[in-house]
């Protein structure tokens, strides 16, 4: 989830994200139909808090909430509006960041698996050498016993 925290921080630092950092203040903006249209409001600040309190089951759950931010904005404002276009741009930037983070995680997983495999092979080789040395010692003892 560290990667998701970094992604959210990156998004929050973008100048275009100002309107997505806090919940929509629909009452003060007099958007009285907002809650009728948007069933589950979401914003970057809420996502960040949920990450900090370890409230997500994984990166995909977090990504779903981030995607909800953009889809809520698009649904409420409609295609052709400035907010729709802004949400669309931020959505594309998020998907690019998320894709890179997933690729990096897969590489780390592959590297970790390779390290475990290498350690296992080294342990097996060590056991094999010990077994060979034990057999050689036994043979040497028997040969010495015969020659005496």
**What is the CATH classification number for the domain harbouring 25?**
1.20.920.10
Closest CA to 93 of 23, 39, 15: 15
> Domain limits at 42?
2-107
Q: Does 119 map to a domain?
A: no
Q: How many domains does the chain have?
A: 1
CA distance 135 to 85: 75
More confident residue, 41 or 113: 41
Other CB atoms within 10 A of residue 93 CB = 16
Whether 63 is in a domain gets the answer yes
- Domain annotation covers residue 78: yes
Q: Looking at the domain assignment, is residue 61 inside a domain?
A: yes
pLDDT digits over 101-145, tens only? 999 888 776 766 666 666 666 667 667 776 677 666 666 777 677
23 domain residue, yes or no? yes
Domain membership of residue 86 (yes or no) is yes
Degrees to nearest 5, angle at CA 3 with 102 and 76: 85
Euclidean distance between CA atoms 52 and 42, whole angstroms: 16
Q: What is the mean pLDDT of residues 21-45?
A: 97
Is 117 domain-assigned? Answer: no
CA–CA dist 21, 17 (Å, integer): 6
According to the model, what pLDDT value does residue 147 have? 74
Q: 129 or 78: which carries more pLDDT confidence?
A: 78
Closest CA to 68 of 24, 2, 128: 24
Structural domain contains residue 143: no
């Amino acid at each position: 989830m560290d990667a998701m925290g970094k992604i959210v921080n990156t998004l929050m630092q973008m100048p275009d994200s100002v309107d997505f950092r806090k919940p929509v203040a629909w009452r003060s903006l007099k958007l009285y139909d907002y809650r009728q249209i948007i069933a589950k409001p979401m914003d970057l600040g809420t996502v960040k808090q949920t990450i900090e309190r370890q409230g997500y089951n994984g990166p995909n759950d977090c990504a779903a909430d981030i995607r909800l931010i953009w889809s809520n904005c698009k649904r409420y404002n409609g295609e052709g509006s400035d907010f729709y276009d802004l949400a669309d741009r931020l959505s594309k930037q998020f998907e690019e960041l998320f894709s890179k983070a997933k690729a990096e995680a897969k590489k780390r997983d592959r590297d970790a698996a390779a390290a475990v495999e290498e350690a296992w092979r080294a342990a097996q080789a060590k056991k094999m050498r010990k077994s060979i040395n034990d057999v050689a010692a036994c043979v040497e003892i028997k040969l010495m016993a015969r020659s005496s």
